[in-house]
Structure 1
Amino acid sequence: MDHPSDQEESIRGNRFEFGQFVAREAVLDEEYWTAAWLRAECQWENRMYERYIDNFKRKFAEQEFTAVRRRCKVRNGETCTCIITVRKEPSNSKHSVLNSVVGTLDLNIRYLLQGETFPGEHVKAPLFCSINRTPPSRYGYIANLCVAKSARQQGIASNMLYFAIEAAKYNGVTQIYVHVDRNNRPAQMLYQKMGFQMVETANAKLSLEETFLLRLQT
């Protein structure tokens, strides 16, 4: 994968600095809540004129806040990291987290089920399907990528992806997957630019859900 070339950036520990932004792991409840609210805004941004839209967004954010905190607890060796991108602020700045967060995504580290070669593959497996916990079966999965509407076209999505990919590689992962809506051409182009390719073998469920499964081999 090519390193992003159009911005000055540096990686320091678990932080990734680029331009006027920093990508890092969310650790505080306030940060999880802000990521959840940003996801709610992105989910409903094209339906702003519906009645009770604020109620729908708040309910979605509350559910996502609870879900992401639950997902971010290590279980059976599988992990989820909520990554946020924040604006760099002067040390004496009093901006709230809510106003600083401009992007978010989840990086999941999982294991393939017995017999699978990619996530969700239809395989003939026993009723109680086991998880293959060998290193080659570990994979990364990216979800919930979104950028605040006011901060788009500044390389935030591509740099968050770069940070997530590097984090996955650091954890020994050699394959990273993502589902993309078939009608979301800009998202498809973004992932392909980052090195993701279409998984040729796709199941009927993907066709029904109108999504593509893409994979990056690191």
Structure 2
Amino acid sequence: MILSKEFFPRECFFPQLRVVSIRQPAEIKPRRSLPFYARTSSTSWEASSSNNFVRKIDDLPRVDDSTKNQRSIDTETSPSKLSELSFDKLQQSDKENNEGLRRAFGRFVAREAALDEEYWTASWLRAEAHWESMPHMRHVDNYKRKYAEQEFNALKRRCAGREGNSLKCVCIVSVKKEDPNIRRTVLNSVVGTLDLSIRLLLLGEKIPGENKRVCSIPAIHDTNRYAYISNVCVSKFARRQGIASNMLYLAIDVAASSGMKQLFVHVNADNTPAQELYRKVGFEVVDGTSAAPPDQRLLMCLKL
């Protein structure tokens, strides 16, 4: 039934309604999760030690599938977290740590690292040595801490046998001798460190780090195995006490006990004190690398 206008009184008011179209809500796209290195901080920083400047990195590289797989492996099997370290942990006594080869000299003992706190202290010593030439650089302590964290994780991976052509890696540390009247923490006990690794030559290589294009696949033969020394450093306040040379002697013993016939080390061509140290122990410059420019490295070898 249709009602006419006469049906309603004149005083009746008819509101004029306007229909407004309802907008559909925009589609909410799922937020893509950031890579693990982007979640740690809003910006990342890279320090350049060659020209003493700091460069801000805003554009993070894309991560391909292979990198994602490697990252998942590293996170699932990652070593002890830094938050679990006890920086006031006391140094182990000789009875608690009497395994493996060791070398006693003066007030110190060179042996294999056993505690995560010793690995961390070794990493911090390497950070100190890396930034030693730039003590007045702004925020240098932050860069040292970042360097030490990265080196700690890398060191734990190396010692777990999860790096490249390295079959085995041993972190050697020099610690102060046990004193019944003094209880030292690990941080105050470790004064020197180096890495000894058992490696395989890559296909096409005749010597480690040969300057020629080689295949990245290791040559799996016993004759291609060799020992390699790296990351030799001593605390600034404990130098000139025979710490570096005695750690090298212990590394030689460990390499010989592992059946190695050659022990290699790289040294900067302009680092004369280091070259004299290695020659004192018995290393010789490999033929073909003695004419390297000052900004390159020499390869030295010791036959066991």
User: TM-score category by the smaller chain?
Assistant: 0.7 to 0.9
Cα shift at 1:32? 0.6
1:151 maps onto 2:267 in alignment = no
Deviations 1:49-103 (A, max 9, x none): 1111111111111111111011111258701111100000224532111111010
Of 171, 185, 210, the residue aligned with 1:121 is 210
TM-score normalised to the size of structure 1?
0.86
Q: Which has the larger radius of gyration?
A: 2
Residues 208 and 152 (structure 1), Cα distance of their counterparts in 2 relative to 1, 3 Å cut: closer
Cα shift at 1:123? 5.1
**Would you say how many aligned residue pairs link Structure 1 and Structure 2?**
205
Give matches, 1:203-214, under 5 Å: 210-214=296-300
| Fraction of identical pairs, as percent | 53
Of 21, 25, 35, the residue aligned with 2:108 is 21
CA distance in 2, matches of 1:31, 1:176: 25
Question: Residue 89 of structure 1 aligns to which amino acid in structure 2?
Answer: E
Question: Residue 106 of structure 2 aligns to which amino acid in structure 1?
Answer: G
Q: Which has the higher contact order (CA 8 A, sep 6+)?
A: 1
CA distance in 2, matches of 1:28, 1:209: 36
Deviations 1:108-161 (A, max 9, x none): 100111232211224565xx5532222221101100000011111110000000
Question: Which residue of structure 1 aligns with residue 170 of structure 2?
Answer: 81
TM-score normalised to the size of structure 2?
0.63
Of 261, 269, 280, the residue aligned with 1:182 is 269
Residue segments in structure 2 that go unaligned for 5+ positions in a row: 1-97
Contact 1:121 1:202 survives alignment (8 Å) = no
Of 184, 199, 222, the residue aligned with 1:95 is 184
| Structure richer in helix, relative to its length | 1
Question: Residue 97 of structure 1 aligns to which amino acid in structure 2?
Answer: V
Cα shift at 1:170? 0.5
| Structure richer in strand, relative to its length | 1
Secondary structure of 1:179 counterpart: strand
Question: Residue 185 of structure 1 aligns to which amino acid in structure 2?
Answer: T
CA distance in 2, matches of 1:21, 1:129: 40
Residue segments in structure 1 that go unaligned for 5+ positions in a row: 1-10
Secondary structure of 1:46 counterpart: coil
